[in-house]
Amino acid sequence: MPAKSPSPITLTGRHVRLEPLTRSHLPDLYAAGGGDEEVWRWVGGAPRTEQELGATLDALLEDAERGEYVPFAVIHLESGRAAGWTTYMDISAADERLEIGWTWYGRAYWRSAVNTESKLLLLTHAFEDLGMGRVQLKTDHLNTRSQAAIARLGAQREGVLRRHRRRPDGTWRDSVYFSLLADEWPEAKARLAARL
């Protein structure tokens, strides 16, 4: 059966709910991570105002309208508030692949179940519902915290694209690529479920 392209959907776990990202999430998102340089260090300059974050969110939603992203608000179930966002991107159903990326969470949610369960929900949907054969993730080569988190998912480090993207400060980022394949997913899923 051929893979299917993702579309907006709500995915619910015990700790988080992933729901289609909308402008209505903006106040919670700004409260979670707006203006925090450390939160935005690897994904772009920290928005100084709610309006700046709104402009970034609007650009992401425009890209989603063109089919480039499927963005999710990450709702922390205990508080009922948006903790950050994450997306499916670089989607090719014909090639049975997509990427999970453009992800950030407010600092209060770091080292919690939020990222683990968000990835478990996204990976389960990608492999088991959409029929993807490959899910990739990438991060800045200097972002060792993110690399360790991706490796804990069970993803395999594939290599580095040198001088891949310009950072907001004008320096060049090398991107470290990781992937999980469909035949690796059952073991990775069991490990993730055990961690939760």
pLDDT per residue over 58-103, tens digit each? 999 999 999 999 999 999 999 999 999 999 999 999 999 999 999 9
Domains: count for the chain = 1
- Alpha-carbon distances of 2 from 6, 108, 134, 135, 143, rounded to whole Å: 13, 40, 13, 15, 35
Which residue has tokens 């919670």?
28
Report if residue 99 sits inside a domain: yes
Report if residue 1 sits inside a domain: no
- Alpha-carbon distances of 73 from 83, 117, 130, 159, rounded to whole Å: 8, 13, 20, 29
Report if residue 4 sits inside a domain: no
- Alpha-carbon distances of 94 from 1, 6, 88, 178, rounded to whole Å: 11, 12, 15, 20
pLDDT in tens, 121-166: 999 999 999 999 999 999 999 999 999 999 999 999 999 999 999 9
**pLDDT bucket at 45, cuts 50 / 70 / 90:** confident
Domain span holding position 184: 11-195
Report if residue 144 sits inside a domain: yes
CATH number at residue 191: 3.40.630.30
Report if residue 6 sits inside a domain: no
